[in-house]
Amino acid sequence: AQSVSQHNHHVILSEAASLELGCNYSYGGTVNLFWYVQYPGQHLQLLLKYFSGDPLVKGIKGFEAEFIKSKFSFNLRKPSVQWSDTAEYFCAAMSNTGKLIFGQGTTLQVKP
Amino acid sequence: ETGVTQTPRHLVMGMTNKKSLKCEQHLGHNAMYWYKQSAKKPLELMFVYSLEERVENNSVPSRFSPECPNSSHLFLHLHTLQPEDSALYLCASSQRGDYGYTFGSGTRLTVV
């Protein structure tokens, strides 16, 4: 069965530190990958997505993610985090049946 | 506002009550979804409706009963719930064939 796993459950960083959140998926076929963010008390918002082409995907708010097919990974990165990036981050994968499957989520806390 | 509206935002109900969650989308999408978000667990896909027809039921207990009267509205009818059903229930919509899901803000359900 298709699944998504996020290695870091809770990450604490200081402002200006670099961020990398791990995501691995298990699905052998064509897969579309997403990162969503959920700010406190708000709805899930799409940060970025990968369908095909350049494996380095740039999203909103300075985030980017790299698709590495050989590692089944789609890690999220940001060179310098801000206090406003404090949120929960979800990696998700969609199979060709259109189901969107989420990882457990990573809570990011950025200290000012 | 995301274009997907969920009501109520918060709901407290007893185990013998019957209540309903409502989701409405104003995006012209033809697929709608219910997800359950519990602490420390991945978002769980509960039901998928495509063109008002239920196409997926992920082994959800019968105390949860979805209804999709038209492509803009989705309900989740609740009866005789258990305390472990307390969670954030998220509705999402998409256009089948497209990969963008739009999420509502969710209903925070507490079963007492």
SS3 state of residue A70: helix
Return d(Cα B42, Cα B25) in angstroms, integer. 24
Give yes or no for B75 touching A (CB within 8 A): no
For residue A4, the distance in angstroms to the closest alpha carbon of chain B comes to 9
Tell me how far apart the alpha carbons of residues A76 and A10 are, in angstroms, rounded to a whole number: 14
B40/A104 touch (CB, cutoff 8 Å), yes or no: yes
pLDDT tens figures, B10-67: 999 999 889 999 999 999 998 999 999 988 778 888 998 887 777 777 789 999 999 9
Smallest Cα distance from A67 to chain B, Å: 17
> B105 and A43 in contact by Cβ < 8 A?
yes
Helices (H), A1-112: none
CB contact under 8 A, A44 and B103: yes
pLDDT of residue A1: 67
Residue-wise pLDDT tens digits, A1-44: 678 999 889 999 999 999 999 999 987 677 889 999 999 888 88
**Is B99 within 8 Å of A49 when comparing Cβ atoms?**
yes
The predicted-structure confidence for B85-109, as pLDDT tens digits, reads as follows 999 999 999 887 666 789 999 999 9
Would you call A79 helix, strand, or coil by DSSP?
coil
For A100, which of B2, B101, B105 is closest by C-beta distance?
B101
- Compute the distance between CA of residue A100 and CA of residue B5 in angstroms, rounded to an integer: 20
Interface residue A32 vs chain B (CB under 8 A)? yes
